[in-house]
Structure 1
Amino acid sequence: MTVPDRQYELPRLDTRSYRNPLSYVDGIRRTNPDPFGFKHRGRYYCYSTDEHGVNVSRSDDLVTWEHHGYALQMPGRRNFWAPCVFYDNGTFHLYVSSVPEDSEDPHDERLMVAVSDDPLGPYQYVATFFDKFAIDPQVVRDVDGQLHMFYSTNDVTGLNSADAGTSILVDRMLDAVTLAGYPRPVLLPTLPEEVYAVDRFGDGRDWHTVEGATYLRHRDRAFLTYSGNAYVRENYFVGYGRATADASIHDLVWSKYPSDHDYHALISRNDRVEGTGHNSIVIAPNLIDPWIMYHGREADEELIPGVEQRSLRIDPLFIDGDTLDTNAPSSEPQDAPALPDLRDAFDDARLGEDWVVLEGTWTSGDRAATTSADRARSLAVNALRIESYRAEVDIAATLDHAGARAGIVPVYLGPNEFVEVLLDSGLARITARHVTGNVGVMLASAPLPRFDVTKFHLVGVQRLFDRVTVQLDGIDVLTFCAPEGPASFGLTAHQTAARFSGFSLTRHLQLWGESLALLPRIYAASRQADVTLDGLAALGGELELVALDDRAETVTTHDFELMSSTRGRIRFSPAWLDDQNQLLVEVDASGLRVIRIRGGRRDELVHAPLAERRFSVRTTVLADQVAVHAAGRGVVVPMRTAGSSQRMTLLTSRLRAYEATSFNGPPQENEEEG
C-alpha cells in the first residue's frame, strides 16, 4: 500500500476558529521554540526554549495565550533548551538542559531538574542527571504508575562509522528526580533526511540528529514522535515511531513509520512554513481530541542567523488505525480545539447555573468550588443527565485530626440512588460505593500510596452505559458496574473542606477490546456474528450493520481492518437516507473513495490510497452537512441529514473499534444545496 501525501486543508465546521502562528493577548509577536504543552486545573501552560531562561505562557483554550515571563532562570547558565514539566503529588518538576554562561560549545548542555509549587514558577534547581551532553527530556507515567524519562544523547551512536549522531533513549525513574540508571536506546539515526551536517567534524562522517521525543499511547498502540535534521535548517521535520503497547514503556520495541529505512514526515515544510519540528501533544478542552504543538518559521521571511524566529503552532492530530495523521503545518483559518459540553473554571462568586446544590455550603472563586467542613455532607450535581461521558476535575482537601473525604458522584439518579467515589485520607484508599435507599454497597476500592490529599489531584471518569472507569492522575484505579440510564454528575465531600477545580465533561463513548461487547447497543446485524476482543469480523459472506439511532451533531470514528488485500471490502454510509440518497465511503484494495449519491447519481469526491489495512474513518454529521476525514483527506459535503442513519456492509473485513463524541460547536452557514 502507498503512504499518502498528508498535507491538506481541513473543512470548516465550527464558528470558533484560529490561525497559526498562535496569538498573545498583548498583541506582541512572540517566539516559542521547542514548545511543551501541559494542563493543570483546566488551564494549559506552554514552556519553551530561550537563551536566558525557560519561557512560560498560559491559555484557557490552546488558541489565545498570555505570556508570564521566565519560569526558570539560573545565574551562570544560559541556552535553556527544550523544557518539559511533570506534576506529581503537589510538586511541579521542570526538566531542561542548559550550558555554562561562558561556554560556546552546545555539547556542554547538561540535563537538570528544578521544582516549584506553582506551574508558572519560579522553579528552584534540584539536580543534574549527567555530566555529559543530554537534551530534550519527556517524563511520562506508564499505565502501572511507573515513571519513565525519554531524552537524547550523542554517545550511543556518536562513534559509529555510519549513521553517527544524536539518538533517543528511555530510562525508568526511581522518583521524579532520580533515574534508575538503565537507559535503553529507542530511536536511532537511520535516514539520510536526518542528517544534521555533512562531514560535521572533518572525519568524513555525516552527523545525524534524532531528538525531541514525545510519547502517546492509544489503545494497544504506542507512538513516539521525534524531530530530525537540524533545527536551524528549513528541512527540520517531525517523524514518529510505533510499538505494540504490550509491555512496560522501558521495554517496548520501536520502529519508525513506515520503516526504519523509509522516510515519511508527519510534519515537514511547505511553501508557507519551514523549520517545523520539536513537538509535544496535548488533549483538547473536550478531553478527547489530541493536538500537536510544534514550532515553525514563516517561509517568506529571511532566515537571520542568531535571531530567534520559531513561533508556536498547533494542529489537530488524528489517529488513523495504526498511523498518525495531521494537516500540519497549517496557515489558513481552521476550527479551534473542541470545547466540552460542560465546563466550569469556578471563577465566579457562586457556582455556575449548570449546578444544583443539594447539600452543604458551597462557595466559588479563585478557580475553585469550595465546601465547608461544618456539614455532614456536601453535594452539588449538574443539571445535564447523560449516560456515557468523559469527565475530569481536580480535587484537594483540607486535612484535620478527623481526616478528609472528598470525591465525585459519577452517577446521580436521585437522593435515593447514586454512586459516589471518595478519596479517603484515613484509609489511604479510593473507594466507590452504590447507595440505594440509604443502604450503601462497596463496588470497588484501591490503595493510595504516598498520596497527599491536601494537594490537587486529577480525577477522571469514563462512563459507558453501566460501566465506570475512574482515573487518578491519569492512571486507571477503579472499574465497576453502576446503575444504567441518564444520570447527573456531582461533586461531594463528607465533613471536609474540599476544593474542586477545572471541571469538564463531554458526551462520549468508546467501544474497543472488552467494551466491544456493548456494540449491539449501537448497531443491529443482518445475521449472526460474534464480537471478540479484536472486533466484529465479517467472514463467509457480507455482514450488514444498521445503527439503532441517528448520529446527528456527533463526531464518530470507526476503526476498520481489511482482512484480505484482495477480497476485503467495506461500504460505510455515515448519512443514509435510502439507497438512492446517501453519503458513502467505499474501501477495497484499490483504495478509499468518498461518494455522494443523490437521486441515484454517484459523484466521487475523494479517491485516496490506503497506507495500511487498518484505518479509521472519522465523520461529523450536522443538520446540513457531513464531514469525512479518512486516508489523509478531509472533505465536507452539503446535504440535509434529517432522518438519516448510519449503516455499513463488511466483507472479509472487521470493525475494530467505535467512538462517538458530541459536536458542541455551532455549524457554519452553508449555501443551500440545489
Structure 2
Amino acid sequence: MKKMYLSLFLATTISFTNGCNGEEGVDKIIEKSEETTYSNPVYPGSMPDPSIIKGRDGNYYLYATEDIRNTPICKSEDLVSWELIGTAFSEETRPDFEPNGGLWAPDINYINDQYVLYYSMSVWGGGNTCGIGVATAASPQGPFNDQGKLFRSNEIGVHNSIDPFYIEEDGKKYLFWGSFFGIYAIELTDDGLSLKYKAEKKQIAGTAFEGVYIHKKDNYYYMFASVGSCCEGVNSTYHLVVGRSESLLGPYVDKEGKDMMDNGYEVVIGSNEKFVGNGHCSEIIQDNEGVDWILYHGIEVENPVGRVLLLDQVHWENGWPTVNDGTPSISAKKPVLE
C-alpha cells in the first residue's frame, strides 16, 4: 500500500533538494561514480514502488509513487547514478478520476511504438473507489497524455484495485493488479489502453500480496510480490517474496508446492540492520554480462524518512531467485553496462 503523509512529502522534498542542490530539485545530476562498486541506496530521496524501462536512446528511465508530486521520472546510464528529470504529469494534465487521489505504483511499458504508463489512483482508505488508469507518451521523458481510467474497484469487483503490472504472452496483453484483497489478471485490447470486450478477471494469488511483477525465465514464470506493512517507518515489515508457475495464469507455488492462492511464497529480500520494509520491486534488467538486477524500495534505519531506492543483483539457484543473503546489499559490484 502506498501510504503518504504530508510530513513525509515535505521531508522527502527537503531531502531531495539538499541532495540535488537545485531550486526545483531537478537541475543537478547525482554524480556518476567511476568506482567499480556502488553503495545502497542508489538514490538519496524517496522513490517508492519503482518501475523501469530501457528507452530507445539507451538510457534507463524509472517511475515511482508520487512522493514527488505528479509521478517522478528518473534517468540513469548505469542503474546506479540517477537524475530526476521531471514528472510524468503536470497539474494541468494530472489524472483526476479519483478526486484528491494520489498517483501510486506506476508501471511503464513500450507498446505499439509508444510508451504506456499504467498508474493507480487512490486516497488512503479509499479501497472501494480507487482504480487504475493509463497514459501514453512518444518519449520516456513525457509528457504523458492521460487516457483515463481502466476501472475502479467498485466497477470491477476487486477491493483496493491498485498496483498494475502489464505483460504480453502469445500475442495477448494482460494486466495484473491487486493489493491485499487478491491478485487478479484480465486481458486487454491490442493497444493496451482498455479492457478487452467481455474479458473476465481471474484471481491468481491470495490476500497476502500486493505489487506483483512477473518475470519469465527458462520454463517458469516467477511472480514477485510484496507482503507485510510498507509504511510504518522502522517498524515496517514489508518484504519481497516470489512463487513460480509453468503458466502465466498460474497456479504459482512455493518450493513446497503451496499455492499462492493459499498465500504460499518464498522470501527473496527481508530486512537487515541498515534497511527495513524492503519490497515492491521493479522489472529485472540484464546487464552486458548477462547478470540480472532488480530495483526496489526500502527504509533506511538511520534516516527513516521516505522509501529510498535500492539496487541488487538477482542470483538464480536451483531454479529460484535469490538476492545477497536474503537482505539488501550495503555495497556491491556495479552492473556492467558499458
What TM-score do you get using the length of structure 1 for normalisation? 0.39
How big is the shift at 1:321?
2.4
User: CA 1:148 to 1:263, structure 2 compared with 1: closer, same or farther past 3 Å?
Assistant: closer
**Deviations 1:185-206, CA, capped at 9 Å, x for gaps:** 11113xxxxxxxxxxxxxxxxx
Q: 2:161 aligns with which of 115, 134, 141?
A: 134
Alignment of 1:104-253 (within 5 A): 105-107=125-127, 108-132=129-153, 133-142=160-169, 144-152=170-178, 165-175=180-190, 176-180=192-196, 181-189=199-207, 209-233=208-232, 234-245=236-247, 249-250=248-249, 252-253=250-251
Answer whether contact 1:21 1:331 (CA < 8 A) is retained.
no
Alignment of 1:375-390 (within 5 A): none
Rounded to whole Å, the distance in 1 between the matches of 2:291 and 2:171 is: 23
Rounded to whole Å, the distance in 2 between the matches of 1:60 and 1:145 is: 31
How big is the shift at 1:332?
2.6
**Deviations 1:41-70, CA, capped at 9 Å, x for gaps:** 221111000153211101011010110121
Q: Which amino acid aligns with 1:149?
A: L
1:93 aligns with 116
User: CA 1:257 to 1:186, structure 2 compared with 1: closer, same or farther past 3 Å?
Assistant: farther
How big is the shift at 1:267?
0.7
Rounded to whole Å, the distance in 1 between the matches of 2:242 and 2:162 is: 18
User: CA 1:295 to 1:83, structure 2 compared with 1: closer, same or farther past 3 Å?
Assistant: same
Partner SS state of residue 226, structure 2: strand
Q: Which amino acid aligns with 1:148?
A: Y
Partner SS state of residue 269, structure 2: coil
1:18 aligns with 38
Answer whether contact 1:38 1:282 (CA < 8 A) is retained.
no
User: CA 1:287 to 1:96, structure 2 compared with 1: closer, same or farther past 3 Å?
Assistant: farther
Q: Which amino acid aligns with 1:96?
A: Y
Rounded to whole Å, the distance in 2 between the matches of 1:151 and 1:169 is: 6
Answer whether contact 1:49 1:55 (CA < 8 A) is retained.
yes
The alignment's C-alpha RMSD in Å is 2.2
Q: Which amino acid aligns with 1:88?
A: I
Q: Which amino acid aligns with 2:161?
A: A
Q: 2:82 aligns with which of 36, 49, 65?
A: 65
User: CA 1:244 to 1:299, structure 2 compared with 1: closer, same or farther past 3 Å?
Assistant: same
**Deviations 1:95-114, CA, capped at 9 Å, x for gaps:** 00113xxx553323221001
Partner SS state of residue 268, structure 2: coil
Rounded to whole Å, the distance in 1 between the matches of 2:239 and 2:141 is: 29
Rounded to whole Å, the distance in 1 between the matches of 2:294 and 2:125 is: 31
2:104 aligns with 81
Answer whether contact 2:254 2:266 (CA < 8 A) is retained.
no
1:290 aligns with 292
Q: Which has the higher strand share?
A: 1
Rounded to whole Å, the distance in 2 between the matches of 1:313 and 1:119 is: 21
Partner SS state of residue 271, structure 2: coil
Question: Whose radius of gyration is greater, 1 or 2?
Answer: 1
**Deviations 1:329-349, CA, capped at 9 Å, x for gaps:** 434321001236xxxxxxxxx
Q: Which amino acid aligns with 1:152?
A: G
Partner SS state of residue 330, structure 2: coil
Answer whether contact 1:243 1:255 (CA < 8 A) is retained.
yes
How big is the shift at 1:178?
1.8
Greater than 4 Å deviation, 4+ residue runs: 260-263
How big is the shift at 1:282?
2.6
1:367 aligns with none
How big is the shift at 1:15?
5.8
1:49 aligns with 65
Rounded to whole Å, the distance in 2 between the matches of 1:236 and 1:106 is: 21
Rounded to whole Å, the distance in 1 between the matches of 2:227 and 2:323 is: 17
What TM-score do you get using the length of structure 2 for normalisation? 0.76
Rounded to whole Å, the distance in 2 between the matches of 1:119 and 1:77 is: 26
1:31 aligns with 46
Answer whether contact 2:271 2:328 (CA < 8 A) is retained.
no
Answer whether contact 1:240 1:257 (CA < 8 A) is retained.
no
Name the structure, 1 or 2, with higher relative contact order (CA <8 Å, separation 6+).
2
Rounded to whole Å, the distance in 2 between the matches of 1:141 and 1:135 is: 19
How big is the shift at 1:77?
4.5
Partner SS state of residue 41, structure 2: coil
How big is the shift at 1:17?
1.0
1:333 aligns with 331
**Deviations 1:295-320, CA, capped at 9 Å, x for gaps:** 0011233x5xxxx5101111001122
Rounded to whole Å, the distance in 1 between the matches of 2:76 and 2:35 is: 19
Partner SS state of residue 151, structure 2: coil
Rounded to whole Å, the distance in 2 between the matches of 1:72 and 1:256 is: 39
Rounded to whole Å, the distance in 2 between the matches of 1:72 and 1:244 is: 38
Over the matched positions of the two proteins, sequence identity in percent amounts to 26
Alignment of 1:263-412 (within 5 A): 264-286=266-288, 288-301=290-303, 303=304, 309-327=306-324, 329-339=327-337
Rounded to whole Å, the distance in 1 between the matches of 2:268 and 2:130 is: 28
Partner SS state of residue 271, structure 1: coil
Q: Which amino acid aligns with 1:49?
A: T
1:457 aligns with none
How big is the shift at 1:166?
2.0
Q: How many residues align?
A: 279
Which ranges of structure 2 fall in alignment gaps of 5 or more residues? 1-33, 154-159
Answer whether contact 1:239 1:257 (CA < 8 A) is retained.
no
Q: Which has the higher helix share?
A: 2
Which ranges of structure 1 fall in alignment gaps of 5 or more residues? 1-13, 24-28, 154-164, 190-208, 341-674
How big is the shift at 1:257?
4.4
**Deviations 1:522-573, CA, capped at 9 Å, x for gaps:** xxxxxxxxxxxxxxxxxxxxxxxxxxxxxxxxxxxxxxxxxxxxxxxxxxxx
**Deviations 1:223-275, CA, capped at 9 Å, x for gaps:** 00000112114210111111014xxx24x321234434666411111111001
